[in-house]
Amino acid sequence: MRAGGPQYFMILSRLERDYDCKIADCFEHPEYLKNVLKDVYENSYGGILDDLETELGEIASEKEIKSFLNALRE
């Protein structure tokens, strides 16, 4: 899902098409990102979340970020 990859652009497009939002809006609406990621990545969704958490490193344990990640995992 690296910025610039084909899946990234597909995710941006679907967020805009389905929810009229940008990637930055997903922090307040993690359910939008969750739905799009599940649709794009299907069986790899859990691995994508693991990769995202790894990329976030130490900040993944901050309260707001942890809450966001938990919303994506529910």
pLDDT for position 10: 93
Going by the DSSP 8-state scheme, the letter that residue 44 receives in this structure is: G
Structure tokens at 2: 């690296």
The kind and range of the H/E element at 9 are helix 6-19
pLDDT at position 47 is 92
Q: Rounded to an integer, what distance in angstroms lies between the CA atom of residue 3 and that of residue 63?
A: 25
Q: pLDDT: is 59 or 1 the higher one?
A: 59
Q: Residue 5: its pLDDT value, please?
A: 79
Q: What are the pLDDT digits (tens) for 55-72?
A: 999 999 999 999 999 999
Specify whether the CB–CB gap between 8 and 1 falls below 8 A: yes
Cα 63 to Cα 35: distance, rounded to the nearest angstrom? 22
Per residue in 6-37, pLDDT (tens digit) is: 888 999 999 999 999 999 999 999 999 999 99
